[in-house]
Amino acid sequence: MKKGKGIQVLVPVISIAASFLIGCIIIAALGANPLTALQYLYKGAFGNVRNLGTTFSRATPLIFTTLCACFAYRCGVFNLGGEGQFIMGAVAACFVAVATGIKGPAAMVLASLAGALAGGIWAGIAGLLKVYRAQNEMIITIMLNYVATLFMGIVYTNWLRDGSVPQTVAVPEETMLPSFFGMRATIAFPIAVICGIGIFYYLFYTSSGFQLRAVGLNSVASRVNGFNVNKYMLMSFLVSGAIAGLGGALELLGTQLRLINGFAVGYGFDGVAMALIANLHPIAGVVVALFFAALRVGSTTMQTATGVPTSVSDIIQALVIVFTVAGMAMVKLPGFQNRLIARAQRKGAKA
Amino acid sequence: MSSFIANLILATVRMASPLIFLALAELYEERAGLVNIGIEGIAAIGSLVGFMISLISGRPGLGVLAGAGVGILVNMIYAYATISLCAEQIVYGMAINIFAPALAAFIYRVYFGSGSELVQANLMITLKQALGIQSDNFFVNLFLDQTPMVYIAFLLVIFTGIFFTKTRAGLNYKAVGEYPKAAATLGINVIGTKYLACVICGALAGMGGAYLTTCYSRTYVDGNIAGRGFIALAAVIFGRWSAPGVLIACLFFGFCDALQIRLQLVNSSLPYQFFQMIPYLATIIVLAAMGIRKAGPKSAGQPYRKEER
Amino acid sequence: MTVERAPAGGEILRMEHITKRFGAVYANKDVNLDVRAGEVHTLLGENGAGKSTLMNVLFGLYQPTSGDIYVHGKKVKIESPAQAVKLGIGMVHQHFMLVEAMTVFENIILGDEHSRGIFIDRNARRKEIQELSEKYGLEADLDMPITELSVGAQQRVEILKALYHGCEILVLDEPTAALTDTEAEGLFEVMDKLKSEGKSIIFISHKMREVLKVSDRVTILRAGQSVETDSIGDVSGEVLANRMIGRELKPSHYEKVQSEKENVAILTGVSYHRSSKHNGLNDVSLRVRRGEIVGIAGVDGNGQSQLAEVLTGNISPEEGSVDLMGSKVVTYDPNGFILKNVAHIPEDRNKAGLIGNMSVEDNLVLKLTKDSRFSDGKGFRLKWKAVHDYALALQKKYDIRCSSVKEEARNLSGGNQQKVILARELEASPDLMVAVHPTRGLDIGAARFIHDSIIAERDRGCGVLLISADFDEILEISDRILVMFEGQIMGEFSGLHPDIQAISVAMAGK
């Protein structure tokens, strides 16, 4: 089905183009030259090694939450709790890095593992409720996001507070993740990309991944054909939570260094959006996350240079998701499919 | 009655009101077979527009109307995508949840510039203030010291209950959510009903959002909906898709919210965040305790296609 | 109502040159039909002959690609069911259009235009309904929720609903398919009453006996085209049957056997939800031997689905035991049964048989991804090339028609979907095969292919449990026939010389 794949790429591309067009109209309405603004946007994201590093660095947490959503949705599980799992991962990592006294590479590894574990457990709560109490995982995971955010609040205002400032003590220098090529980005970025490739391999080249996808597409048929549906559902919660948790840990150790008000705000839903734009393909998800990060990084430069507020780029991002999801639904409509087939037949007749 | 309990009851009513708007929004939507998890986002844009219009005009009531209007507009995107394009409802609700708050944040930045969170608008006055009553009696406070929005919320519950159980239109409306194909064979306009549901839902969700900036807080901040849209989803499940049930659920969640605010004031030894967790934890616990009983409109979440083979 | 009463015997409906095309497929091609007032007009045809499509066109659910419809001699365009209802056309669909969460009363008054008031006038509506129900002998408890009614009672509600909405022409789409004989008799009585009141009935069926019994005239549809319209009395059943399928009706194509080989499955006193008449099993004992086909006959919804689910490990019985290949089953889970070499052709192929959004090749290797042929290291690295080659081989062997084995399974026609399932299940060389309605909704060619495959599998030594509500299918390939009624086995009959009379009686629970 090469045709089908073509359309799957075409829809997001057209959506992005349309979103940029609307973005340009907004920029023009705000009295700036859209082309100049876009130029600065591009320069800000990719203009030099430093900016590129910033883009990579901003993309890293988004890649993790995107992969979290991808993995869960592939199993038909609507985990909207990427943010909470990300935060719990960061909180666990923070305890290891700040409160245990362990430093250096050992602390990095331990903190990352603790983060993945915490994220997994946090998602596991929703998983258990879904599998054994048939509960709506969307509401539960969202509620757990708020609980996690508040819990983190307790950590930075009370338990690990840094003097009078409501933030935690910083991760010690020895435990900070090393960066590479002198960029702002740390090794968290390659780890994120490797995670993406690993999930791709798992989903499409292993029996277990195959079965997980089958469960996601049709759980009844999967059960009838002998797959342990509950096991896969629970696993998809745990693994997707662990991915987000690892992301939170690496974000703390590599970029943020402290827990503070506003840490990770919106990352969970952003991940969901990006996973959907990527059509749940993990590698496409990495690309989409990079694209969005570039928009965000570039928009700062755009703002300083042209005065166009950064929130324009948020609008563009939101429009991309609005258009992509609608577009994907549209191409699935029977009417559209029939037209497609008819056109293919006409072409066939001509040839 | 101790002032703690009196204040708690008064606050419960006040905190439940926005939830009632949002939960009724979802109820109308789900009764027509549409699950809309985007009401959090619609409430956000309703909240901002309500605030702005209230500030500009000086009339909070106008703000609420504007909130309803913008709610309808935004929900028409959802309506077109899910009803006409048959997009997955959950996925599209998520899209709305990302789009609408981004739009709200953008409008706020453009209109007010950044770093101006101190802009304050007038709040709606209560009946007691309007009548100039001085008494501080508990019952006077409970029944009269409320903004018109509170009365509207409770009247809407009564109206909704009658609509779904006693009227011909309500019966036909429910049939759309249960078995759209059967409804269509009886001459009920399925697509029209679904669009109508989206209009009602958008208006109510927008009003619920506007409540927060016209009756509760004088300012708008990003994220002020604070999950109420999602709690409303739980309230509809908890209330078994009926208007009285939704009312009880909203009062319960409103109580949790009121309780946490009161407890924060009373207790200062525990971190306040513990108390703030109460409404969210209560939602999880209530859902978990309800167990596996599944109910609700049969066709909720499923697209309706006309000529199907 | 504005619909004027046509003179008795006068033409009330005419459909001319109706053509309906889905993509490149003609479901109806140049079909003609005319119905007179006060007659029962049967549409006769095999599955897939286009009867339902034609009726959906009449009812405004489908728009005809071309052709005209006349009601009372006036040309009409029926764009929606609502319009059809306004024109006095009522329809009882095969799958009832009843809202389960509502009561009988609520279902009947849905969408009604009897009053313009805002509120439901329960007393007035009730009276109207009761009058109708008495007039036509359609009993119904108005306050019962639909879920608590039997199939026959639900059908009565459907007819009552159509009458309440003022129908003059009532379409009954295979109304007896899910009824017991007694219930069917009751329906025929109601039809007589309707006729005597001047209503016209379009009766859709492929059961020759009842067609001859109830019809005034018959129109035969074959492969989407109307063949001929005859008055009953002018033609014999045999002639009709031949016209319907376009060939001579033969007894059975297959040789029946009497297997003496060992048992592959033994059920002893199996019960499940014993009190449920329609969805339970009550003390069921049966055995399936190697090399035989045991057919379970019975009207749909008498516990057959539960029997299949027990025998494939999808539910565990509350009482009794199951022995597979000589050993007792301890835990009931589908995977355990698959490992014991039980194959399953499920009732609902889209819901339970296939992963519709996966490709044909994925579906063919669904249970085999850990097999060393298709992966290294027990599923650690899938060999997609091997999967593809295997799929191509099976595509050829089972004549699966699709544009490519990479096409999504949901895009295939029903017959080809069933072949995918059949290929997957048979390639495992099962010891026991549970086949539920294996040819439901398939065209003759595909059904024949499936029957051939099941017979070949029997001859290889597989024991087959065939569950089907299609009596002809049971007679066609079963070596032994068991009849199920309300969760119980009513009796055993030979497949070689089936006593049709006795079997029908058993199916009605007598």
Check C379 against A208: CB less than 8 A apart: yes
Interchain contact B271–C (C-beta under 8 A): no
Q: What six digits make up the tokens of C31? A: 């079909």
> In whole angstroms, how far apart are CA C421 and each of B193, C400, C426, C439?
40, 10, 8, 12
What pTM was estimated for this model as a whole? 0.90
Q: Do C367 and A228 touch (CB under 8 A)?
A: no
Mutate to test the interface with C, among A225, A227, A339 (most CBs of C within 10 A): A225
pLDDT recorded at residue C25: 72
Contact B146, C98 (CB under 8 A): no
Over range C406-413, report the average pLDDT. 88
Label the pairing between strands C342-345 and C432-436.
Answer: parallel
Confidence of residue A349 (pLDDT cuts 50, 70, 90): low
Largest CA-CA distance found in chain B, in angstroms, rounded: 68
Task: Give A207's contacts in chain C (Cβ within 8 Å).
Answer: 369-370, 375, 378-380, 382
Q: In angstroms, rounded to a whole number, what is the distance separating the alpha carbons of residues A155 and A162?
A: 10
Nearest Cα residue in chain B from C116: B168
Using one digit for the tens of pLDDT, what is the confidence trace for C347-371? 999 899 999 999 999 999 999 999 9
Identify the CA nearest to C180 among candidates C212, C201, C151, C213.
Answer: C151
Closest Cα in chain C, distance from residue B232 (Å): 23
**In the prediction, which pLDDT does C244 show?**
60
Which among C24, C366, C370 has CB closest to A214? C366
The answer to whether the Cβ–Cβ distance between C111 and B309 falls below 8 Å is no
Quick check: C2 contacting A, CB < 8 Å?
no
pLDDT, one tens digit per residue, over A151-201 is 999 999 988 888 888 899 999 999 999 987 777 789 999 999 999 999 999
How far apart CA C18 and CA C31 sit, in angstroms, is 5
| C147 secondary structure, DSSP code | G
Is pLDDT above 70 for C127? yes
Q: A227 vs chain C: nearest CA distance in angstroms?
A: 7
Average pLDDT over residues C482-491: 91
- CA separation for the pair C294, C296 (Å, rounded): 7
Instruction: State the pLDDT confidence band at A339, using cuts at 50, 70 and 90.
Output: confident
Q: Coil, helix or strand for C432?
A: strand
**Touching C: which chains, 3+ CB pairs < 8 A?**
A, B
pLDDT given at position A248: 97
Chain A residues whose CB is inside 8 A of the B234 CB are 136, 139, 143
CA distances from C460 to B200, B217, C293, C447, C455 (A): 64, 78, 12, 20, 9
Distance CA B277, CA B264 (A): 11
Identify the structural domains of chain C with CATH numbers, from first to last: 11-98+167-240 (3.40.50.300), 252-341+429-510 (3.40.50.300), 352-428 (no CATH)
Q: Tell whether A166 is within 8 A of chain B (Cβ).
A: no
- C145: which DSSP letter? B
Conformational region of residue C29, where left means phi above 0, alpha means psi within -120 to 50, and beta covers everything else: beta
Q: Which residues of C touch A1 (CB under 8 A)?
A: 359, 404, 406-408
CATH 1.10.3470: does it fit domain A31-308?
yes
| B290 in C contact zone (CB under 8 Å) | no
**Which residues of C are less than 8 Å from B168 in CB distance?**
109, 112, 115, 117-120
Q: Which residues of A touch C358 (CB under 8 A)?
A: 213-214, 217
Task: Tell me whether residues A218 and C356 touch, CB distance under 8 A.
Answer: yes
- State the Rg of chain B over Cα: 20
Query: Does C382 lie at the interface with A, CB-CB under 8 angstroms?
Result: yes
Which of B232-236, B289-293, C356-360 is least confident? B289-293
| Contact residues on chain A for B284, CB-CB shorter than 8 A | 129, 140, 143-144
* Alpha carbons A137 and A264: distance in angstroms, whole number: 21
Structural tokens at position B26: 């979802």
Task: For an interface test with C, give the residue of B30, B168, B193, B298 to mutate (most C CBs within 10 A).
Answer: B168
Contact list in B for residue C97 (CB cut-off 8 A) is 179, 181-182, 185-186
Closest CA to B182 of B27, B300, B174: B174
pLDDT tens figures, A262-317: 998 889 999 999 999 999 999 999 999 999 999 999 999 999 998 888 888 889 98
Q: For residue C457, give the nearest of C345, C307, C361 by alpha carbon.
A: C345
Q: Do B87 and A276 lie within an 8 Å CB cutoff?
A: no
Distance of CA C144 to the CA centre of its chain: 26
Give one DSSP letter per residue of C256-312, joined into a string: -----S-EEEEEEEEEESTT-SSS-EEEEEEEEETT-EEEEE--SSSSHHHHHHHHT
The conformation of residue C84, written as its DSSP 8-state character, comes to: H
Q: Give the distance between the most distant pair of CA atoms in chain C.
A: 79
Sign of the alpha-carbon dihedral angle for B171, B177, B178, B181: positive
Mutate to test the interface with A, among C305, C355, C427 (most CBs of A within 10 A): C355
In this structure, the strands spanning C281-289 and C89-92 are: unpaired
Q: Name the pairing type of β-strands C11-22 and C89-92.
A: unpaired
Write the single-letter amino acid at B34: L
Whole-number pLDDT of residue C309: 95
Q: Which amino acid is at C103?
A: T
Q: Where are the alpha helices (DSSP H) in A75-206?
A: 82-94, 105-133, 137-154, 188-205
Longest dimension (CA), chain A: 77
> CA-CA-CA-CA torsion for B64, B70, B72, B74, nearest 10 degrees?
-150
- Report how far residue C311's alpha carbon sits from residue C313's, in angstroms, rounded to the nearest whole number: 6
Domain residue extents for chain B: 3-113+148-290
- Which of B91, B103, B288 is nearest residue A135 as measured by Cβ atoms? B288
Report A:166-225 residues touching C (Cβ under 8 A).
204-208, 210-211, 213-214, 217-218, 220-225
Interface of A with B in 176-215 (CB under 8 A): none
Chain C hits for A205, CB-CB cut-off 8 Å, are 381-382
Residue showing tokens 């059509």: A279
Q: Which among A271, A272, A251, A247 is positioned nearest to A260, based on CA atoms?
A: A251
Pairing of strands C281-289, C263-272: antiparallel
Whole-number pLDDT of residue B66: 97
- Helix, coil or strand: residue C222: strand
Question: Residue range B152-158: average pLDDT?
Answer: 97
Whether B183 and chain C come into contact, CB under 8 Å, resolves to yes
User: What mean pLDDT is predicted for residues B70-90?
Assistant: 95
Residue spans of alpha helices (H) in chain A: 2-29, 34-46, 49-74, 82-94, 105-133, 137-154, 188-205, 207-217, 219-224, 229-251, 267-277, 282-306, 311-332, 334-350
Contact B90 A147 (CB under 8 A): no
Domain boundaries, chain A: 31-308
Please report the pLDDT score of residue C7 as a whole number.
43
* The pLDDT of residue C229 is above 50: yes
The rounded distance, in Å, linking the Cα atoms of A128 and A138 is 13
Mean pLDDT of A103-107: 93
The β-bridge partners of C36 are C11
Which of B123-127, C92-96, C457-461 tops mean pLDDT? C457-461
**Residue in B closest to C64 by C-alpha:** B307
This model of the complex carries an ipTM of: 0.90
Let me know: does B25 contact B156? Beta carbons within 8 Å: no
Chain C interface, mutation test: which of B159, B186, B241, B308, most C Cβ atoms within 10 Å? B186
Count of A–C CB contacts within 8 Å? 73
What is the pLDDT, as a whole number, of residue A271? 95
Report the residue of chain B nearest C110, measured CA to CA: B172
* CB-CB neighbors (< 8 A) of C102 in chain B: 171, 174-175, 178
Architecture of domain B3-113+148-290: Orthogonal Bundle (1.10)
Going from the C-alpha of B202 to that of each of B198, B301, C389, the distances in angstroms are 6, 17, 53
